[in-house]
Amino acid sequence: MDEPTIAGVILELCGKAVPPNFVDPADAAQAFAKVTGRLSVPWQGYLDRVRETAVVLAKEGKITIYRRGEPADPDTFKGPYKLGLPKGSVEA
Determine the 3-state secondary structure of 66 from DSSP. strand
> Would the pTM of this model clear 0.85, i.e. be above it?
yes
Measure the CA–CA gap between 60 and 73, rounded to whole angstroms.
Answer: 12
Assigned CATH for 6-84: 1.10.10.10
pLDDT digits (tens, 9 = 90+) for 29-79: 999 999 998 778 899 999 999 999 999 999 999 999 999 989 999 999 999
Domain ranges in the chain are 6-84
